[in-house]
């Protein structure tokens, strides 16, 4: 297949919020479903989820990844749900090759955690797009994750969707369960700061997010939900357009922003 015939895929950061969204049809999940219809089916997906945060870089390399129910306190039916999308061992091999000299483990035990399947079951409900998950190395600084995104960027020209799943602001202890709508001022300020850096293509401000001080400390008390954004930003091309969906905060301290980098093109 020629380059002209292969659509260039965007890179998307999904603000995933609660696993319970998988049970709902709301403004968040409607956006995800609409994005799937808009960009069509990629040849495959490389997904970086906040919930595979380990001491190393791994990529799922099995034919049939399992569905992982890594959450608690939800209705029984959620623990019976399966997202039976295929894996792609060949794509996993190519990811490992492209990330050299980084040592990438071809993983046979993980699967699709809720950061992946609770989102993608809305984007591609037929579960017919091959997916590999890439872990987040908890030992590495933010710049490392951004650079991995840059290394993965050429996959977009091959019809592969690069997807990050997390939240720009994610502070569970500070959540206000009495008020779903609206956010704390510090959450709004930090989200605005990061969105401004994205629009103005200032990757250093995105990578060095902690320099935003107390607002950053409250918004990103632990890094795992923020770091998937860096992979998507690393996969950005200078010519890519940017748009935000679900640009709001829930329960005070969950920023639900989805960031769409680029649009589907025919690879001209």
127 token code pair: 């579960």
d(CA 103, CA 99): 8
pLDDT band at 268 (very low <50, low <70, confident <90, very high): very low
d(CA 125, CA 37): 11
DSSP per position, 139-187: TS-HHHHHHHHHHHGGGGGGTEEEEEEE-SSB-GGG--TT--B-B-HHH
pLDDT at 78 over 80: yes
227-255: per-residue pLDDT in tens? Answer: 999 999 999 999 999 999 999 999 999 99
**3-state SS string for 88-137:** CHHHHHHHHHHCCCCCEEEECCCCECHHHHHHHHHHCCCCCCCEEEECEE
d(CA 2, CA 246): 35
Size of the chain, expressed as the number of residues it contains: 268
d(CA 181, CA 204): 31
pLDDT > 90 fraction of the chain, expressed in percent and rounded: 92
Phi, psi of 9 (to 5 degrees): -85, 150
Q: Are 28 and 109 in contact (CB under 8 A)?
A: no
Question: Taking all residues of the chain, what is their mean pLDDT, rounded to a whole number?
Answer: 95
Report pLDDT for 179: 78
Look up residue 66 and give its DSSP letter.
Answer: P
125-177: per-residue pLDDT in tens? Answer: 999 999 999 999 999 999 999 999 999 999 999 999 999 999 999 999 999 98
pTM: 0.95
Q: Are 19 and 122 in contact (CB under 8 A)?
A: no
Report pLDDT for 266: 40
Report pLDDT for 265: 54
Look up residue 63 and give its DSSP letter.
Answer: S
pLDDT > 70 fraction of the chain, expressed in percent and rounded: 96
Cα R_g (the chain), whole angstroms: 17
d(CA 185, CA 36): 32
pLDDT at 187 over 50: yes
pLDDT at 267 over 80: no
Q: Are 134 and 46 in contact (CB under 8 A)?
A: yes
């Amino acid at each position: 297949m020629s380059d002209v015939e292969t659509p260039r895929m965007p890179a998307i950061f999904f603000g995933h919020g609660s696993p319970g969204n998988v049970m709902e049809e709301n403004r968040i999940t409607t956006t995800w479903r609409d994005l799937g219809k808009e960009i069509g089916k990629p040849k495959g997906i490389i997904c970086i989820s906040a919930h595979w945060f380990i001491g190393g870089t791994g990529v799922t390399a099995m034919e049939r990844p399992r569905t992982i129910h890594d959450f608690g306190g939800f209705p029984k039916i959620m623990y019976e749900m399966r997202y039976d999308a295929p894996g792609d061992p060949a794509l996993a091999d190519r990811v490992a090759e492209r990330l050299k000299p980084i040592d990438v483990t071809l993983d046979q035990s993980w699967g699709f955690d809720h950061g992946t399947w609770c989102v993608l079951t809305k984007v591609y409900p037929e579960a017919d797009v091959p997916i590999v998950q890439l872990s987040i190395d908890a030992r590495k600084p933010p710049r490392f994750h951004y650079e991995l995104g840059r290394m993965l960027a050429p996959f977009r020209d091959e019809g592969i969707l690069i997807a990050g799943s997390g939240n720009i602001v994610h502070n569970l202890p500070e959540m206000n369960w009495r008020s779903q709508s609206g956010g704390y001022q510090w959450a709004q300020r930090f989200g605005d700061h990061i969105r401004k850096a994205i629009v103005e293509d200032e990757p250093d401000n995105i990578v060095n997010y902690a320099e935003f001080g107390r607002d950053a400390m409250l918004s990103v008390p632990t890094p795992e939900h923020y770091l998937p954004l860096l992979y998507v930003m690393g996969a950005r091309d200078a010519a890519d357009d940017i748009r935000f969906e679900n640009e709001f905060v829930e329960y005070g301290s969950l920023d639900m922003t989805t960031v769409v980098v680029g649009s589907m093109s025919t690879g001209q």
